[in-house]
Amino acid sequence: MSDFIAPAGRYAPSPSGDLHVGNLRTAMLAWLFARQSGRNFYMRVEDIDSERSSAESAARQLEDLAAIGLEWDEPVLYQHDRGHAYADALAQLDTYECYCTRRDIREAASAPHAQPGMYPGTCRDLTEEQRALRRSELHAEGRLPAIRLRAHAREWTVRDYYTGEYTGPVDDVILKRGGRVDQAQAGDWAYNLAVVVDDGYQGVDQVVRGDDLLFSAPAQAYLADRLGFTAPFYIHVPLVVGPEGRRLAKRDGAVTLREMMAHASAADVVEKIAESLGYVGISDAQTLLEKFDPERLPRDAWVFSG
């Protein structure tokens, strides 16, 4: 078998409920960018959060994506099957145990000189004696420590289609979540590790996602570098927001495909998505693919009013 992996794009929803029109629009854009550039296009089910994910939700999401005309290359990758790959990757990295609770992190983040949204490094440089004490305290509470990356870079630069070069901070991100011993799952892997490992495994070199995630790209690209992968080329696209300008949510009414199809067809929904991309009168994905020009993509958020 050849070691060559064809370049690819992907869409990777979390199966915690039906996809709303903002999710569907981003999925459509991911498919358009991948297929227009001759890439494979993969569907990945990000179901490592066992408390929120369900097989039923995953099946419904795939049905909805197919209903708007998206097709993908097999197989569909389910992250709950990938624990061995995440464990192998974790063993290659410089890591440390983190004993902090969410409250500890919130309080440390509010301290003077703390960087907003960044882990302050509370557990990074503990001595072995301090670690043994914290581990014992945690065990007495019935809790497990989280595992964090010990980053050796403060910032990293990524390439994005619309932003150009973007340099952002690199955090000691969580790679494996902690939690209660009696509730621990074999799949307590953190998103930042799983997404990087799976992109590398599938040959994903193009990532399309909402522009609210641009800030997290440098840390993920740094992690990819540590694991010997080439970081993908990013395409961060504008979000879909509700009438009040906030990120689209259930409070904005009928926003999922199934809700909208109570009074419209899947083709009608595709036409609405196409209009948001600057194309009027197109109601099927294949025709949209033929017409799609990345330079025409509106750079402002799309206000969805139902």
Length of the chain: 306
Q: Under a CB-based contact definition with an 8 Å cutoff, are residues 270 and 283 in contact?
A: yes
Contact by Cβ (8 Å): 99, 134: yes
Query: Count of alpha carbons within 13 Å of 137, Cβ hemisphere only?
Result: 10
Query: So what's the pLDDT on residue 112?
Result: 58
Give the separation between CA 205 and CA 123, rounded to whole angstroms: 34
Segment 58-97, tens digit of pLDDT: 999 999 999 999 999 999 999 999 999 999 999 999 999 9
Annotated binding site for Zn(2+): 98, 100, 119, 123
Q: What are phi and psi of 114, to 5 degrees?
A: -70, 145
276-285 CB contacts, 8 Å cutoff, 24+ apart: 276/25, 276/240, 276/302, 276/304, 277/25, 277/28, 277/29, 284/69, 285/28, 285/31, 285/68, 285/69, 285/70
Please enumerate, by residue number, every residue annotated as part of a binding site for ATP. 250
8-81+238-303 and 88-157+167-183 in the same fold: no
**What is the structure's pLDDT at 5?**
74
Domain ranges in the chain? 8-81+238-303, 88-157+167-183
Convert the pLDDT of each residue in 132-186 to its tens digit: 999 999 989 998 999 999 999 999 999 999 999 999 999 999 999 987 777 655 5
Distance CA 8, CA 40 (A): 4
Q: What is the pLDDT of residue 44?
A: 98
**pLDDT tens, 237-296?**
999 998 888 888 767 676 899 999 999 999 999 999 999 999 999 999 999 999 999 999
Q: How confident is the model over 3-8, as a mean pLDDT?
A: 78
Question: Residue 176, SS3?
Answer: strand
pLDDT at position 185, please?
55
**203-237 pLDDT, tens digit each:** 999 999 999 999 999 999 999 999 999 999 999 99
**Is the confidence at residue 4, as pLDDT, over 90?**
no
Given this model, what pLDDT does residue 254 score? 64
Confidence of residue 1 (pLDDT cuts 50, 70, 90): very low
Q: In whole numbers, what is the pLDDT of the chain averaged over residues?
A: 92
Q: What is the pLDDT of residue 2?
A: 39
Is the Cβ–Cβ distance between 201 and 228 less than 8 Å? no
Binding-site annotation, residues for L-glutamate: 10-14, 46, 191, 209
CATH of 8-81+238-303, one of 3.30.1330.60, 3.40.50.300, 3.40.33.10, 3.40.50.620: 3.40.50.620
Superfamily of domain 88-157+167-183: Glutamyl-tRNA Synthetase; Domain 3 (3.90.800.10)
Question: Which residue ranges make up the annotated binding site?
Answer: 10-14, 46, 98, 100, 119, 123, 191, 209, 250
The reported pLDDT for the residue numbered 183 is: 66
Question: Which pLDDT belongs to residue 40?
Answer: 98
